[in-house]
Structure 1
Amino acid sequence: MIESTRLTKRYGDTVAVDDLTFTVEPGLVTGFLGPNGAGKSTTLRMILGLNAPTSGTVTVDGVPFTRRPRGLRHVGALLDAQDVHGGRSARAHLAALARGNRIPPSRVDAVLRDVGLTKAAGRRIGGFSLGMKQRLGIAGALLGDPPVLLFDEPLNGLDPEGVLWVRGLFRKLASEGRTVLVSSHMMAEMEHTADRIIVIGRGRLIADASLAEFSARHASRGVTVHTPDPAALEAVLVAEGASVQREGGPAVSVTGLTAARIGDLAHRHRIVLHELAAHTSSLESAFMSLTADSVEYLAGEPR
């Protein structure tokens, strides 16, 4: 379990993490989400004791991580897949980590096999693609067989097969009772990976809920209608309190009324409908809307 209590980190006048409180439970894949610059990486570094909090506390199974000798046996982490010595082989890199943490050498070949790098074990890391480096970083996180695992943007550079493999790996690790925290700025990916999500923006907590709870609270529901007389339909629906958006041509997007109610009203007013379909906005759209005020850099913003 990871517990953060009023965690704050300041760099001069800049507040990177602001009074952040959350708990990451074992047995679940928890997505740690937010726009770039939201404070996710800084939070992960404080969990691992790489950055000291300005105030507040964060513990792993009730103890600050810095108090644990041979840390890879307690927490496995992938923070930056590029942060490796390019002149070493994959096997040599993992062997060095194993020696420093008193991990049996047999684990090196085991995790190389688990991440699909056995054939590349003797190659220099400098020649690896980003996807291969991500796999090597995951191997390093798994090396000590730890109960707690942290991953920062682990899907970058992976091909579709690699993405599917990582999803399955995270679910397997959580099913074994481990605590799995995965940082990402991509809600669409976490929708397929996480059981629970923590969303932050500008260092502050925005949401902490199960995926189902987040969807129920933030994903909007609406109805798309195709009619040869959109103006007449709009007038009828607005009079009933609906919000109507004309999408051009025969398409109308409606919120505030069910598909059944729209069909009844159209029938009553003799308005022909060619299509009537209820829909729910994607969690990605909900996430983008929720974090819109927390985005640090906006494309096309005025200068």
Structure 2
Amino acid sequence: MAAGATPARHRPGSVGEVIELHALTKRYGPTTAVDDLTLTVRPGHVTGFLGPNGAGKSTTLRMILGLTRPTGGTVTVAGVRFVDRPRGLRHAGALLDAGDVHGGRSAAAHLTALARGNGIGRARVDEVLREVGLAGVARRRIGGFSLGMRQRLGIAAALLGDPPVLLFDEPFNGLDPEGVRWVRDLFRRLAGEGRTVFVSSHLMSEMENCADRLVVIGRGRLIAEQSLAEFAGTRTSVAVRTPEAAALTAVLAAEGGSAHPDDAGGLVVTGLTAERIGDLALAHRIALHELTTRTASLEEAFMELTAASVEYPGGKTR
């Protein structure tokens, strides 16, 4: 199902709204879901929100929107608690759970009810249905929608108030390849208009394709907050092939490097640049057959950084 070409409107003066969390904490009895979390999500970027299962991502999004009350700390959207805004959809739109809709209503009826409660005109319902590609099924009951169609309906609801701040939790679930590309392009366009776009997803490939900033948490604590390029770029290694692996490993260790065998019979070296490795090999008359600098993928960098924060690590396969 192709999305319509009608772009979301953008109101002058709606740029520049930030999401600010300060020492945000949520406990459920003895369990701390979010732990002293402080960060700022700024406009003009698609900010990816990453973390292992159980890291506290969904709880954080719910606290931003006032659906879950913090145990401690504060969270504001453009300097104001979201719950203090009488017509919230004009300030922030969100897709948290595509299945959290009344299956007996039509798509048009669902959006019309939301529009009426937020002082939004009926014409806007038709606009967002066209934009997400659901205009042709607007009168169908949501109970008959596929997961991908429900995701599109949730995105339509988030866009309904033409808000400057948008939050999405796992928005790619259930979408076909065309739908994934459409959502990716939509997020980039919204950020390009100066909006604040905050996206939680476990699909590393999609975050790598659409996010330009990342926030990573583990066990409720902030692990990283930086650009995508900085996040992956600081985790580099050098692939080396040599017939004298043992000798080179000893030389590199003496210079502060670390070399480990890879599955292809070569070495993976960290702690030294390719140039320095080449110079050391030449000085010690060690032949090299390959010397390649390698930047970690987002998935590899994420797995490395969050290894200690995984709540339910998988077992080893024998």
Identify the residue that residue 30 of structure 1 maps to in structure 2: 47
8 Å CA contact 2:166–2:197 kept in 1: the answer is yes
Identify the residue that residue 89 of structure 2 maps to in structure 1: 72
Quote how far apart the aligned CAs of 1:169 are.
0.7
Which of residues 295, 312, 316 is equivalent to 1:280? 295
1:19-47 alpha-carbon deviations (Å, 9 max, x no partner): 11111111211112111111111111111
Q: Return the letter of the residue paired with 1:258.
A: T
Which of residues 91, 112, 124 is equivalent to 2:129? 112
Give distance in 1, aligned partners of 2:85 and 2:311.
35
Which of residues 134, 153, 176 is equivalent to 2:170? 153
In angstroms, what is the RMSD of aligned CA positions? Answer: 2.1
Identify the residue that residue 164 of structure 1 maps to in structure 2: 181
Quote how far apart the aligned CAs of 1:268 are.
4.6
Quote how far apart the aligned CAs of 1:238 are.
3.6
8 Å CA contact 2:184–2:206 kept in 1: the answer is no
Quote how far apart the aligned CAs of 1:236 are.
4.0
Corresponding residue SS for 1:10:
strand
Quote how far apart the aligned CAs of 1:242 are.
2.7
Question: TM-score if structure 2 supplies the norm length?
Answer: 0.87
1:72–1:228 distance in 2 versus 1, CA, 3 Å? same
Are positions 1:140 and 2:151 aligned together? Answer: no
Equivalent residues, number: 300
Quote how far apart the aligned CAs of 1:154 are.
0.8
Q: Return the letter of the residue paired with 1:299.
A: G
1:247-268 alpha-carbon deviations (Å, 9 max, x no partner): 2564222223332333344445
**Which deviates more, 238-247 or 285-294?**
238-247
Question: TM-score if structure 1 supplies the norm length?
Answer: 0.91
8 Å CA contact 1:89–1:122 kept in 2: the answer is yes
Quote how far apart the aligned CAs of 1:270 are.
4.5
Q: Return the letter of the residue paired with 1:89.
A: S
Identify the residue that residue 235 of structure 2 maps to in structure 1: 220
Taking the TM superposition and a 5 Å limit, the aligned residue runs for 1:180-191 are 180-191=197-208
Give distance in 2, aligned partners of 1:267 and 1:65.
62
Give distance in 2, aligned partners of 1:279 and 1:92.
52
Identify the residue that residue 71 of structure 2 maps to in structure 1: 54
Give distance in 2, aligned partners of 1:249 and 1:210.
32
Which 5+ residue runs of structure 2 have no aligned equivalent?
1-17
**Which deviates more, 94-103 or 185-194?**
185-194
Which 5+ residue runs of structure 1 have no aligned equivalent?
none
Identify the residue that residue 258 of structure 1 maps to in structure 2: 273
